[in-house]
């Protein structure tokens, strides 16, 4: 098991069939996930296709995450939390500049920057990174459609497990936005393992 320190990220390879386990070791912490087909970065994780084909905005065990080319990229095989977001983009310096004017434009770690660094090792350009699957993030809408961000409902030890359905280049973060994480940013644990064998 590897640990991402608060407000950091990484990039790694997953082969088709491999399992990614993401664990919230302390509770109330988001992890941003994004992926490309390892053989062609013109194919990437698509929230629009996934929402369209699933006919919903909340995803959990048994659901499939699709690419922009309508191919299954990853399947959710275990989820002990059940509350995640697939609507919001990864936080960026511009996020903090626009939505948190009290910071007065001060530099701030961001998931977008961490994803750019993590995926940059695979020659992914920043403009190729789109809407992330935000593991453990608690986003909901009110009756008029306004979005609200509450602290994650995840508790220490909650896990989210994905199976790669194609070879992937993956970016993963320990989210850097305090508001999304109950006021403090905390670590995220993760592990890439072998394909699951039939029980």
**Closest Cα partner for 148 from 138, 134, 133?**
138
| Averaged pLDDT for residues 116-142 | 97
Q: Is the pLDDT of residue 97 over 60?
A: yes
Instruction: Give the residue extent of every domain in the chain.
Output: 2-193
| Averaged pLDDT for residues 132-137 | 98
* C-alpha angle 92-139-46 in degrees, rounded to nearest 5: 65
**Closest Cα partner for 11 from 108, 154, 128, 93?**
128
The beta strand positions in 25-101, using DSSP E, are 31-37, 40-44, 64-66, 72-79
| Model confidence band, residue 103 (pLDDT cutoffs 50, 70, 90) | confident
- The whole-number pLDDT of residue 196 equals 65
Average pLDDT, the chain: 96
Q: Is the pLDDT of residue 34 over 90?
A: yes
- 3-class SS shares of the chain: helix, strand, coil, % to 5: 20, 35, 45
- The whole-number pLDDT of residue 198 equals 53
| Averaged pLDDT for residues 8-14 | 98
- The whole-number pLDDT of residue 135 equals 98
Q: Is the pLDDT of residue 117 over 70?
A: yes
CA distances from 60 to 14, 17, 70, 76, 117 (A): 20, 18, 19, 6, 28
Residue 103 or 111, more confident: 111
| Model confidence band, residue 105 (pLDDT cutoffs 50, 70, 90) | confident
Place of tokens 């590897």: 2
């Amino acid at each position: 098991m590897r640990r991402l320190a608060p407000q950091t990220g990484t990039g790694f390879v997953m082969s088709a069939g491999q399992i990614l386990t993401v664990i919230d070791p302390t509770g109330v912490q988001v992890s941003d996930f994004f992926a490309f087909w390892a053989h062609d970065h013109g194919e990437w994780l698509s929230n629009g296709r996934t929402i369209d084909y699933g006919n919903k905005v909340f995803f959990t065990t048994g659901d499939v995450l699709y690419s922009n080319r309508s191919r299954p990229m990853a399947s959710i095989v275990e989820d002990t939390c059940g509350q995640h977001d697939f609507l919001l983009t990864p936080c960026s310096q511009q996020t903090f500049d626009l939505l948190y004017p009290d910071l007065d434009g001060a530099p701030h770690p961001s998931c977008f920057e961490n994803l750019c660094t993590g995926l940059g090792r695979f020659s992914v350009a920043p403009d190729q990174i789109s809407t992330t699957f935000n593991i453990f993030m608690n986003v909901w809408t009110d009756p008029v459609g306004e979005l609200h961000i509450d602290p994650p409902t995840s508790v220490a030890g909650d896990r989210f497990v994905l199976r790669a359905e194609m070879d992937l280049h993956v970016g993963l973060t320990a989210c850097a936005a305090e508001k999304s994480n109950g006021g403090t940013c905390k670590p995220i644990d993760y592990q890439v393992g072998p394909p699951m064998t039939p029980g």
